[in-house]
Structure formats: structure tokens, C-alpha cells
Structure 1
Amino acid sequence: MTVTDLYWGELVAFYTHSDYAGLINYCTDKLTQDPTHYLLYGARGKAYLELEEYTKAIDDLSASLLLNETYGMGLYNRGIAYYFSSNYTAAIDDLQAANQQQIQVNVDYFVGLCYYYTEQYESAIHLFSSVLDSAQADEYILECRANAYTVTGQSQLAARDQLGLLQFHLDAIPELETINAIDSTPSPVAEVDTFWSCFTEMCFLSQTGSMLSGIYILRFTNQEFYVGKAKNISNRLKQHHRTYSDIERIYFKAVALQVLLDEENATIAHMQRMGLRIRNLKQLSFLDLFNTHHQRRWVNQLDYSFISGTKYDNQAIREKFTNQFKSLQQRSYCNELIRLLSAYIEATIPNYLASEYNYWSISCLPKYLKKDKCVSRINIHAVPVLSVFEENDTSLTMILFVSKLPFLTHQSEKGSLEYLIDHLPSLQIEFKDAFQPQTQGDELTLVMNQGDFEKALQIPIILASCRLFNLRMMNRTGNEIGHRRTVWHCLDLADAIHQTIGSPQASERIP
């Protein structure tokens, strides 16, 4: 038995038990007796590599290669250490040299990634394809090849890879079905016949009564309402008078302290069900505007709609964005934009009339996105479900957030979705959790030009994904925890959209 064979047997025992610290100690001890054996340096360098101590790994592997320049696995391991140290050029040199030594390891994976990170995309694509053609399903390599195709302008090949990524998410279907399940628990509400009779107009309260705890309703000059609770109604109303200048009437109902919150929630729910406009942004339940029956039909029947309520109007809100809307009107694509936004809202936002402002909002030339040339954005639950951007040639690019569930279900039950590429040549798909925790991980980003956007709304799987995602975001609206929702709503643009839609053509219409 040679010395190398003896060392090899000892080293394999350490590797088998992943005892890298023990291996390092063993090699260090043996090197004091035999400082010229390449395998001891190589083995210790490999141990450092496993422990992610890349500088030490490179030093030892370099020492090993000085003693044996044809040590193929030494070249490979040093190449990997260079890769994880972001020295991609050195990594390529070592890995390719290792490959020439005919080692029993395929270097295409890491060499391809090195090319990718150094923006040598065509070379990366070639090696990624080699890895994927070897029947090695690898999500990260497929994602990188899709990105490389995108950067090099090969959009349809990129889209095919992006759709291929769905196969790695099929095990998420049960979880996504759970988070998209429709709640069937209605909010508790007061009896319709007795609701208003329980409230007294504030001017009739005695001075003693004004110190009571209870529920109050503010009625504003534009026929909006605000529901609140107070431990001391007199002090609370003083605060509101400093905030609002358009309070028209005040209604009050005395309520015991221990049930204030329950009564407040029930009052908000009842007023929503009556179709009254309220200014509350929290403690809302979309089920009060769009009940379980409607929600299930909305998801399962893509031509189903239900419209209730009246058009939102608030002069103070309108004036905030009037100038931005006037600027939008000067742009050549304004009318086309309004038409496309109208088609999207009518098809994908449930009960879009009654839910405007409290549940969904639309911005116009948002200043904080001016550099990105964002033209408009529809937000639900602080998620931009649709964003429109102006390109240099004044064409429009649409970015949608949709649910992954319909895509995954189709992939699982029916197979490939590549037909989408033929129908929507500009389609790009991105898998990223950009809006956790709002989306709970069920989000898919679709990017396309304005021509494909209009066609996309006619494709069942995309329409279903939009409708499901928007419904879930609206069901989560009003229950935000840890932050206060800010609404940016351009009423002039919303009015133009409603005018374009015209009288609601709904499967069911509630006046």
C-alpha cells in the first residue's frame, strides 16, 4: 500500500462522516511530517471549502497544485472556491482546466453561472442548455437561462423557460388553494328595521349623555359617513371637528365599554351592506359588499359580475390630483389608456362600483414613480395589481400581479402553457415575492405590451388569475396590521373610466 493510498483511506473516513474539523486537524498534523504531499493540502482545502472558508481553501488548493499541477479535483475545487468568492474569471480558468484532466464531474453548471454573472450571456445559455438537456431538472439554472434570453432579446425563448418554472411549484397547490378559499362567515350586523332607531342625533343629547361611551356616526355634506367608537364621545368629537370641516350631522348610540369594538364592527358592516359610502379604511370586510355567493360565482364563472352602490365622489380627494389628470390628457395615448384601464377594471375588479376608493384605487402620473415613467397604477391592499409604464416610443407596457394557482392547476392537470406565447408574443413572466406578506406568496408577475394586454384579458387562464388575485386582495383589505393604509386615488381618471364602461352590464345589479 502506498502512502497516498493510506492517506486516501483515512481522508475518506472523515468525509463520510462530514467531520471537516477532524479532517483539517488530521491533514495539519500529517503535513508537519510530510509537507510535500499534494493530497494533504488538497483534502484540507476541500474541507475549508465545505466550511465556506474560501480564502483558506484557495490557499491550500493552490499549494496542492504547486506540488501536482495535473491534480484535476484540486483545480475543480479551487474553481468552486473562486466561484463562491465571486472571482468568476479565475473560476472559469480552473474549471475548464479541470475538465481537460477528464475528472468525473460536469463543470458546465458552474462555468455557465460564471459566464452568466460576467454578462457573457450567449456562452451561459449554451452551457445552461447542456445542463438542462442532461435530464437534470434545475430551477435556478432554468431561471438564469430565462433571464439570459430576456437580456439578449430572445423574448419567446425566455417566456418558454419562465413557463417551465411552473413545474417546480406544483407542490404549492394545496397551500394556495387554502389561502384562496372564500370565507363564508358573514359579519354580525344589526337588524335593518332597528338600526337607525338605536341612534340619537347628537343635538338631542344632554350634557351628561355627551360623556357616555358609545358608537357614533358622522354624516358629511357629500353623503359619506364615518363610524367610530369612543370612551368619551365629547372629547372624541372635538378631535373630529378639528379634522373635518364638512360634518353635517352626528348620530350616537350609548354602548358599554366592553362591547365597543364589536358594536363598531357591526355598524360598519351594516352600513356597507346598505350601500352607504363610508370613509373608514379599517375594520372593513369585502364580504359585506360582495358576499360568499357572489364571490364563488366570480371565481368559477368568468363572465359573472355583480354591481352595487353608487359612484364615489369626494371633492377634497378630487382636487389633489386634478392637475395630474390634466397633464395626462395632454398625452397622445390618454384615450387608449382609459379604454384599456376600463376593460381591466370591468373584467377583473369585483363590484368595482361600490368598492372604489375603500378597496381599490387608481393613481395618475404618480410623482414618486416619475423617473420610471409610470403613467397609472391600480392598487388593492397596497399591491399594484396593474401598473402602466410609458416607453421611449410612447407605447405602453403593462405589469400585472396575478395568482399562481390557475397556472399551476393547469400545468398539473393539462400540461404545457406554451400556447400563451403564440397568443402573447411580448409576454414575460416573473416568479418573485415582491409584496410579502400581503400576497402570502401567491403572486405571479406578468409583463406585456399594450396590444397583448387587451388580448390577455380574453384568455381564460389569465383572466381567472387576475380575478382570483384581485378578489383575495380585496378580502384582505381593511384588516391591515402594523401599518396604516394610504389611498392615492385620481377621481378624474376614475370618472373617465366609469364613463367609458357606461351603465354596468352585470349578471346581477343592485341599485
Structure 2
Amino acid sequence: MTSSDRTSLGQMNLKYLRFNVSQLESISALIPELRRGIYVLQFFNVEFYVGQAQNVATHFAQHRHGHTNHHEAWDDIERLWFMPVPENLNLTKIKNNEILRFRESGKPLRNRALNLGHNQPSKLDKEITVEEQHSWVLGDGPYDLCGTKEKLPPLGNEPSKFLKQVPDEYRDLILADLVFALTNLVPEAIKLEGRYWTILDYPSTAGGRRATLNTGTLELLFFPRREESGLSCLKTTTGTFPHSRLLSLLTPWKRYSRGFFVDQIHYNSTSADQVVFNSGDLKRICQKYPKILQGARTFALQAMRQNSSGKFAR
């Protein structure tokens, strides 16, 4: 969603009230009534958290003393921003727009939702320690990759849609890219298969894919079904390439080129630099351009920290 798609708070006649709450355990006296609305917690380390509440006093107390299901006590809250919102306006929509607005302005958020790359605790931390996650992004591993190729045979055997519908000239090239991705881009691929990453052949996705490697609930690597394309599309973290390198997917492409081009993809939770290249060329490109390897590893890890891949499981 772009900023032009959003209704500004000013147009809705909504604005924040700001309070210094660093010494307060309760805000009931500060906001005795009209407690329904959007709130922002500002922390001493200049991080922020955007939330919605029917009763902001209750939510503040939960954050201050520890929300049982979400986080430990936040004792570093410096300021509270609160925006009363009338009953006829949708809190969730306004909150989501505010999260996107804060994120686009570069403000670090403690929100997990709509905020890929957050530093909050994740379920993945129980599978891979935070220290090991950092090592993975930097390429320090190591992980037990024995058996990775054995995860792919369903794509190459009957009655796979992949085998039936992908032209022979592309099949081995696509499989080569998938094997490289699982052994070099996805952490602990054997251990986390089906829970934090999945491969789908001919998924019912808008635009059409021959196969898709999903990490969390986002595509990491996919192979478009366009006629005579023979292309692979890899997600890397936004900023992997300077803006001047970004081109449109409509850019004319020489099928046998040894290069690649980049465009930018937007999701609700993040943006990504998408590298487009000839299928079968993933290993060479990652070895020649280490920033692509690191950017893809980082994107995969962030997506896995954000969500499991349960909705794709078959």
C-alpha cells in the first residue's frame, strides 16, 4: 500500500496526544475517558511500538508489567502517544497504516506484525539460536546439509505437476537452483522442512509459477510460468542494490545473457530487491556477487522469523 492509498489522519481529524510516562505504572489518570484508539509507545532507545486498544489504560499496563503471551515487561517506555478514535472508524486499518508509515520513515519498531526484520523474540529462536542465525547470515554456519537433495524428488517423479508441465529444457536448471537455495540460502533446511520452508510445484498463484520456494509465508525463489521465460526470481533484502540498479520486469531480456537485472517488490510487511536471472545460474551469481548471497540469506531468515510455513504445508 502506498502513501497515496491511505487516508491521512488529518483528513479524519485525528491527532496524537503525547505524554511523558517514564515514571508511571498506570495512565488511568492521564486518560480518564475516550480510551479507544491508536497508541504508540516510544522507548528510551528510540524504538517504537504501534498498537490499538478499546481501553488504552489496560494495554499500557500489560506492556509495562509484561504481556503474558507476547513479551516480558517493558520498563523502558519513555513516552506514550495516544490518538482517540471514534467507534465508526476501523482501528485495525488505522493501526496497520501507522505501522507502515513508521516503517517507511525509518523508525525502528518492536512490532512483529507487518514488520519483517524485527528484532523481537521469535519461535524460530527455539530451533536456531540468535547467535547461530547471525552466523548463518554471515556465511559462518556450519549446518548438517546431508540429505538436502532428497527433499526434491517429489518434483522429479510421477505424478508431479512439475514433471508433467515444465519443459524438459528448464527442468534440470530449476532443480539446480532449488538445490543450491536449500543448501546455501535456507538455514537448517533439513530440520525445518515443512514448518519454516516449503516447495510448491505449479501453485495456484497469481501470475503463474512453475515452482516456488517459500520461507515463512513469503516467496524466496520462484520460476515464472511465462512462455519461453526460463527465468528465476530471487528475493533479497531491500537495499541490496542501489536504487540506480533497479529496473522493471518489462525490461527486454536476452535469454542467454549471463547477467541479471533487479526490480523492487512490495509486501505489506516489507519491500525486497528481486534478482531476475536465467534458471540454473543461481550458484554462479551468488558466488560472483556475495552481496546477493547475503541479501538472500537475510531475507530467508527474516521471513522464517516472521512466520512458519504452515499455510503452505501439503
More helix by share: 1
Which TM-score applies when normalising by structure 2? 0.50
Report which structure shows greater RCO (CA 8 Å, sep ≥6). Answer: 2
Larger radius of gyration: 1
